[in-house]
Structure 1
Amino acid sequence: MSDPVKYPYFYRTVPNELHLCAAIGKLLNYFGWKWVNIFSSNDESSMRAVQILRKGIEQYGGCIEFHETFPHQGRLTHPLLEKIHRAIRKSSAMNIYYFNHNDVFSLEYIQYLQIWLKNGQVFITISKIELIKKIQKHVEISNKFFIFKPYKKVMPNFLKFIREMKPIWLAKDYWAKDWWEALCDSRCPKHIKRDCNFTYKIKLLIHCLSTFFESSYSVYNAVYAVAHALHDMIISGSGNGTTWTRENREVLYSLPWKLHRYLRNLHFKNGLGEEMYMDENGDLATGYNILNLRVLPDRTLKYKVVGHYNPHAPPGQDFTIDEKAIVWESSFTQIPPQFRCSPSCHPGYRKLIREGGSVCCYDCIPCAEGEISNQTDMDTCTTCPEYQWPNQKRDACIPKVINFLSFEEPLGIILTSISMLFFLITAVILGIFIYYQNTPIVRANNRQLTYILLISLMLCFLCSLVFIGHPEDVTCILRQTTFGITFSIALSSILAKTFTVVTAFQATKPGSKLQKWMGARVSNSIVLSCSLIQIVLCLAWLFTAPPFVHLNMRSEIGTILIECNEGSVIAFYCVLGYLGFLAGISFIIAFLARNLPDSFNEAKYITFSMLVFCSVWISFIPTFLSSKGKYMVAVEIFAILASSTGLLGCIFSPKCYIILLRPERNNKKDLRKM
């Protein structure tokens, strides 16, 4: 009937099904009710409305468990009622009863319906239950009904009109005449009883005790709409010479299409002072009240308006609901109740639709690592930004923890303390050797090499501090280069000392040509040349692919590791390999010279020191590769400290023992007996 081509002169004074379906959908969406049963009559209008309602429910994510129809003519059969009641009892959904607009529930039917239904369900209907005060106290009804009805207002003098209406005006309508004459019954209430000059005694009619006259409001507006349109048409045509009489055929023939134009542009105030107008679809601008049927303490029933829907209001203001005015059934375990096939997925979880099932039937699974969901019933989880990570509940992204080996944490404090302790010990040993520089044990093996070795070991202990703290591009470059160069100087010094031991023994043989290789210049040349090679390797590393700061976000979950990327792994292992080469040569030469006469027994100490050095760095490589983050840095620091301590202890502790604790043995005679 809303098709303007087929029915150009059709107008509504009640909201059409489109608005009613939208209103029901708004209520479902407001309370989050997504699991729904629908019962409707099988007439064309109701079926079309249910199709619209189904689309609206599915549009906001709801599902219909089942849809059952009633015959729109005749009574409901008992088998059909049994079938419907069994389906409802097994269901956890809320129910929508969409009957014909003119149907009214009887209290007996509602009572019968509740006997078959389990507690904890809600009904939405467009059919109002007739409340008869004299019999409603005998009916048990729960607070579980929401009813959508067009706006109802009390028209002025309406009951007075009913009391004074003359049935003779309705002589051709037997049922209407009988309806009015029944109001002459002496048992009718005073506000509706008519004064009649005859006695009317029949079985008491329900409408005599009823207050169900709300359709009259729509009729009232319809009559006044036509009256105002006709008035506007008459006023606009009063100057064209037309005589407005009942006999004027011209008026009678032209009235429908002329009146149509004025109805389209209609705008007036009714007797209640309400603004009335027709919208572009020919519908009177009105809306719906949302009623809640409640049981009062005295067991009487009452309707309470708990919300409104006005399709002509601005967006956001079209739907209102007053939750405080709603009285819920006492059996509800949750207020407002929830109707879902599956429980809501809380933030931190997402929905996983069950295979072959409805979209409303799903399982809740936690979001994957690096993802969150901050709303209920999310279909997918969202990935956190690169510099953020989910919190423990996975419902919010929080900044990732910045992680590096700092001076403030226990591991950093321990390594720093060890480094500074051995630096001071090395400095003390250097001071001892300078103080006792003219004693035989100090002069026995090139004092300059000893000083160079001690100073390089002091730098080795200090260079471990560069590995601790917040990495920067400068510190990343200094880490490996200072480590490589200082250790190459230390190992070059040991190599030079080992070479000096061997050449010193061979030079004592008669006719030996190695005497010319004795002296500080050869030793210094070995240290300088071997160190220079390492310096060249480091410079090549810096000019090709220098180390740089790298933010590692994948090594540890929820952590940003600030670390130094070596730039060129090949260059890094070339530096380590060259140190290993120097250590290996020194070890081999010292091992071969370990059985030299006692005067030159420093080769034994060098052998042990190189054995410690090589053991530390051989075990370093697999440990370094299997570590992550700051522990990788700690492994390298430990290797630096351990190897430096091994060199310091194996080479200098025997000499310090003699210098400090056995000074009587610090002479040439006893030195040869060692």
Structure 2
Amino acid sequence: MLFSWTFISCFLQIPILVCSYTSSECLVRMNYRIHGEGNVVIIGYFPAYAIYPLNKTTDWRMLKFNRDFMVEIKLKNYQCILAMMFAIEEINNNPYLLPNTSLGFEVNNISQGQRYTLANVFRSLSTSACVDLNYRNAHESNFAAVLTGPSWAISEYIGTLLDLYKFPQLTFGPFDSLQSEQRRFSSLYQVAPKDTFLTLGIVSLMLHFHWIWVGLFIIDDDKGAQTLSDLRSEMDKNGVCTAFVEMIVVTRGSFFTKSWKNQVQILESSSNVIIIHGDSDSLLSLIVNIKQKLLTWKVWVLISQWDVSKFDDYFMVDSLHGALIFSHHREDIPNFTDFMQKSNPSKYPEDTYLHVLWHIFFNCSFVNTDCKIVHNCLPNASLGFLPGNIFDMAMSEESYNVYNAVYAVAHSLHEMILNQVQFQTHEKGKKMVFFPWQLHPYLRKTLFNQDEVNEVLDWKRKSHVEYDILNFWNFPKGLGLNVKVGTFSPSAPKNQKLSISSNMIQWATGPAEIPQSVCSESCHPGFRKMHKEGIVACCFDCTPCPENEISNETDMDQCVKCPESHYGDTDKIHCLQKTVTFLAYGDPWGKTLCFLSLGFSSLTAAVLGVFLKNRDTPIVKANNLPLSYTLLITLMLCFLCPLLFIGHPSTASCILQQNIFGLLFTMALSTVLAKSITVVLAFKITAAGRIRRWLLISRAPNFIIPLCTLLQVFLSAIWLTTSPPFVDKDAHSEHGHIIIICNKGSAIAFHCTLGYLGALALASYFMAFLSRNLPDTFNEAKFLAFSMLVFCSVWVTFLPVYHSTKGKVTVAMEVFSILASSTSLLGIIFVPKCYLILLRPERNSLNYIREKSYARRKKP
């Protein structure tokens, strides 16, 4: 057994505690400090463990000892100590770096609070029990620099003192842009790279997985406020919305479990992705709440400063399983793992920390007097025997920064020696005495290799490194692996900055399915987003696209209108090509109208033939034979006029349609008017009516036809001159079709033509109406009056129907009106005459006329 049952029962608590009073007392009593001899010494301040008084602890996770304190061992920070020792050992074994000079080290534990931290610093930099920092620095100092971290609070406490004496200080914690920009500490250098593009990387990850509805937990300090501003700005530019923002009050060093504000609202939020920005020490209360609530369905996006393996609980399911972590990219340091495995109490007998770990983890007996293990230890035990969730053998980011910080100091010292700047002559093995502030110019320009990229310690010139995206695997509980699943490179091309292997990610919600985090479900193609007033852009309703508009992508803000030559399909996803159509001869309407046109034209020709054959009969002669011939020929042409409206329109056919129609109907109506006047004149002749007799004999009514026709020609000339008809396309009347039609050009001219024809029809009707009751066997006044009545009715009905229809129907209605009005003239005026000529020939004789006249006179 590697572990005692006492340790296992304690290890399940939060945080990792030394579960033995003897071990805790050793660390406290020995005031943990280790040394390594050398000409030049680098001091490191690390929070290797923390001491807390029990009477201030209220968290149920804390194990209460029998004395007045408890100790928290921070194994992750101990790896930083080993990284410092490893780097110094490498440098001392390198004959090309700092020849004839050896580096030494001094490691001190940092207790909680500014008071104890400054006390340790004074004690380290003083040569005697009486603290005299000025004397030590000015005369006998062989200290080159101080390493601090990982918390910025620790570096700030120490920097307040060291900056007074321009003592070089390198912090290996996360880079703080605000502190660098404010230049509060001129002697402090941040080894970690800038996080300038961290917000861009987080937003790129959100966009990759289509997470547009996220929550934010951010530490409530100046850095957190700046991060929130940068993150919101980047999210707004890329359409990612914030479900909630919770600022967490800084609780460094406190283990009190505090609930965050609006807890119920946050837990019930539809956001399944939550970004947490802040270090794990500061947000301990937050992580405890997360552990308590078992939020296993949430995806946590963390920054690299989180030590996720530090937190544990009694539950079998880890709420942080599946979390995605942004970590600065770094290459493996050769031999560092071997160095840690070989680190044991035998190799470093003065390191009390290792003795305590061996006592806790490997059941070694302990001597209380000097806190050294003596016997009953597991043979060949090493830190590599510990599980990964207790001590990770992979180099952490902070350890990597410590390693680079030591090399930065070494290169600066090497450069200073080469330039022989105010150095005293010394022999190997003796201390080198110099002023630490002399190292600043070299630190600012020192280059050291980090991931094959030249980095500089001057914060103004620091380049921006890549990020590794890690996936935290902790199922089954205790696995504690950070698996690299992707990278983010700010310097890569726009669409290649983020590279991620989704199939490698273990999600808290399941092994394969990518969690969704949206405020509203996506609008499918055929719909568009309808944003709600006063609500963020990510929350919307989906509404179908309007007629003839489409959306062929998901979550479109606006539908796209189809071109005139296309129309939207029923799903409103695609624009389809419209079919070009017109009133063709092959259409049912076209065939019917063409048949009627030719049929009635042939019938009119037949009537004309009948009249020509029987031109010597009384009924044919009775009503001005030339006018009858003229009317029949005109009607025959009127019946053929609809053929101009059928077929593919052209400019010539469009011009001929309306003008031929107007001229023919003008001739027909003027002929009817002449016939009506002739009837009136014939029956109104008296002795005193010589003028009427002259008009009748001279056939003056026949001149009405050319006069009326010339007036119509004049109207047509104006029409063609001002705005002639032209070929047009109607893309709206019939869905999915483009109808080729003849545009009238001038609507006023068209209606003037109709009005002129209406005036002729009314005049003819009026004249025929006057002679409707005149006694005569072959008097056609009644038929003329009735034909004009029907003619006017047809065209009065046509106008509202014409304006209420579109496309081919409009053309068909106009053709039908032409045929109907022409048929009324033919049928009412000439059919009765043909009836008498063909079926009742006995009535078409002079004897019948005389007998009928004699009978009327004999009648009393």
Q: Answer with 540-549 or 375-384: which moved more.
A: 375-384
Give 2:290's aligned residue.
113
Does 2:603 correspond to 1:425?
yes
Task: Determine the C-alpha separation between the residues in 2 that align with 1:132 and 1:594.
Answer: 114
Match of 1:65 among 233, 244, 255: 244
Give 2:777's aligned residue.
599
Give 2:396's aligned residue.
214
| Structure (1 or 2) with the larger CA radius of gyration | 2
Give 2:75's aligned residue.
none
Q: Answer with 420-429 or 114-123: which moved more.
A: 114-123
Aligned residues: 652
Shift of 1:365: 3.8
Does 2:651 correspond to 1:497?
no
TM-score normalized by the length of structure 1 = 0.81
SS in 2 for 1:607: helix
Amino acid paired to 2:253: G
SS in 1 for 2:196: helix
Task: Determine the C-alpha separation between the residues in 2 that align with 1:429 and 1:228.
Answer: 122
**Cα contact 1:545–1:568 (8 A) shared by 2:** yes
Give 1:161's aligned residue.
339
Give 2:299's aligned residue.
122
Does 2:513 correspond to 1:325?
no
SS in 2 for 1:624: helix
Give 2:472's aligned residue.
293
- Gaps of at least 5 residues in structure 2 are 1-175, 364-371, 853-860
Instruction: Report Cα offsets for 1:418-445 as digits up to 9, x if no partner.
Output: 2222222223323333344444443333
Shift of 1:501: 3.1
Instruction: Report Cα offsets for 1:162-206 as digits up to 9, x if no partner.
Output: 2444779989xx9xx3333356569669xxxxxx9943879x999
Task: Determine the C-alpha separation between the residues in 1 that align with 2:187 and 2:604.
Answer: 109
Over 3 Å counting, the alpha-carbon distance change for 1:162 and 1:543 in structure 2 is: closer
Give 1:151's aligned residue.
329
SS in 1 for 2:495: coil
Q: Answer with 654-663 or 386-395: which moved more.
A: 386-395
Match of 2:723 among 542, 545, 549: 545
Give 1:480's aligned residue.
658
Q: Answer with 109-118 or 454-463: which moved more.
A: 109-118
Shift of 1:461: 1.8
Instruction: Report Cα offsets for 1:396-420 as digits up to 9, x if no partner.
Output: 5556665654444433333333222
Shift of 1:388: 5.6
Q: Answer with 38-47 or 473-482: which moved more.
A: 38-47
Match of 1:199 among 366, 372, 375: 375
Instruction: Report Cα offsets for 1:138-173 as digits up to 9, x if no partner.
Output: 5455854222223354422212212444779989xx
Give 1:192's aligned residue.
none
Shift of 1:255: 2.9
**Cα contact 1:41–1:72 (8 A) shared by 2:** no
Instruction: Report Cα offsets for 1:280-333 as digits up to 9, x if no partner.
Output: 84436532222223466899564432221122334322211222222334569x
Give 1:308's aligned residue.
487
Give 1:258's aligned residue.
442
SS in 1 for 2:766: helix
Give 1:193's aligned residue.
none
Over 3 Å counting, the alpha-carbon distance change for 1:161 and 1:185 in structure 2 is: farther
SS in 2 for 1:476: helix
Task: Determine the C-alpha separation between the residues in 1 that align with 2:689 and 2:311.
Answer: 140
Task: Determine the C-alpha separation between the residues in 2 that align with 1:69 and 1:104.
Answer: 9
Task: Determine the C-alpha separation between the residues in 1 that align with 2:588 and 2:213.
Answer: 57
Give 1:181's aligned residue.
355
Q: Answer with 518-527 or 495-504: which moved more.
A: 518-527
Q: How does 1:343-362 map to 2 (within 5 A)?
A: 343-362=521-540
Q: How does 1:195-594 map to 2 (within 5 A)?
A: 198-199=374-375, 208-209=386-387, 210-211=391-392, 213-215=395-397, 216-227=399-410, 237=419, 254-263=438-447, 266=448, 268=449, 274-278=452-456, 281-283=460-462, 285-294=464-473, 300=479, 302-330=481-509, 335-368=513-546, 372-381=550-559, 390-395=568-573, 404-506=582-684, 514-518=692-696, 522=700, 524-551=702-729, 563-594=741-772
Shift of 1:26: 1.3
Task: Determine the C-alpha separation between the residues in 1 that align with 2:361 and 2:675.
Answer: 132
Over 3 Å counting, the alpha-carbon distance change for 1:46 and 1:315 in structure 2 is: same
**Cα contact 1:598–1:672 (8 A) shared by 2:** no
SS in 2 for 1:289: strand
Match of 2:267 among 77, 81, 89: 89
Cα RMSD (Å) of the superposition? 4.5
Task: Determine the C-alpha separation between the residues in 2 that align with 1:386 and 1:629.
Answer: 15
Percent of paired sites with the same residue: 39
Amino acid paired to 2:504: A
Shift of 1:478: 2.0
Instruction: Report Cα offsets for 1:99-143 as digits up to 9, x if no partner.
Output: 54465999x99797366256643221222422899x999545585
Amino acid paired to 1:312: S
Task: Determine the C-alpha separation between the residues in 2 that align with 1:160 and 1:346.
Answer: 56
Q: Answer with 513-522 or 28-37: which moved more.
A: 513-522
SS in 1 for 2:308: coil
Task: Determine the C-alpha separation between the residues in 2 that align with 1:501 and 1:244.
Answer: 148
Amino acid paired to 1:581: A
**Cα contact 1:354–1:363 (8 A) shared by 2:** yes
**Cα contact 2:220–2:247 (8 A) shared by 1:** no
Task: Determine the C-alpha separation between the residues in 1 that align with 2:310 and 2:434.
Answer: 50
**Cα contact 2:466–2:490 (8 A) shared by 1:** yes
Q: Answer with 613-622 or 389-398: which moved more.
A: 389-398
Instruction: Report Cα offsets for 1:496-550 as digits up to 9, x if no partner.
Output: 2233333444569899665544468545423222222222222222223333445
Task: Determine the C-alpha separation between the residues in 1 that align with 2:354 and 2:257.
Answer: 35
Amino acid paired to 2:250: P
Over 3 Å counting, the alpha-carbon distance change for 1:253 and 1:145 in structure 2 is: closer
Amino acid paired to 2:392: T
Q: Answer with 457-466 or 298-307: which moved more.
A: 298-307
Over 3 Å counting, the alpha-carbon distance change for 1:111 and 1:197 in structure 2 is: closer
Over 3 Å counting, the alpha-carbon distance change for 1:206 and 1:47 in structure 2 is: farther
Instruction: Report Cα offsets for 1:565-594 as digits up to 9, x if no partner.
Output: 444444333322221222222222222223
**Cα contact 1:131–1:301 (8 A) shared by 2:** no
SS in 1 for 2:507: coil
Over 3 Å counting, the alpha-carbon distance change for 1:300 and 1:418 in structure 2 is: farther
Over 3 Å counting, the alpha-carbon distance change for 1:226 and 1:464 in structure 2 is: farther
Task: Determine the C-alpha separation between the residues in 1 that align with 2:279 and 2:602.
Answer: 99
SS in 1 for 2:484: strand
Instruction: Report Cα offsets for 1:372-395 as digits up to 9, x if no partner.
Output: 555444445555556665554445
**Cα contact 1:430–1:454 (8 A) shared by 2:** yes
Shift of 1:87: 3.5
Q: How does 1:582-661 map to 2 (within 5 A)?
A: 582-661=760-839
**Cα contact 2:290–2:319 (8 A) shared by 1:** no
Over 3 Å counting, the alpha-carbon distance change for 1:59 and 1:431 in structure 2 is: same
SS in 1 for 2:774: coil
**Cα contact 2:316–2:477 (8 A) shared by 1:** no
SS in 2 for 1:293: strand
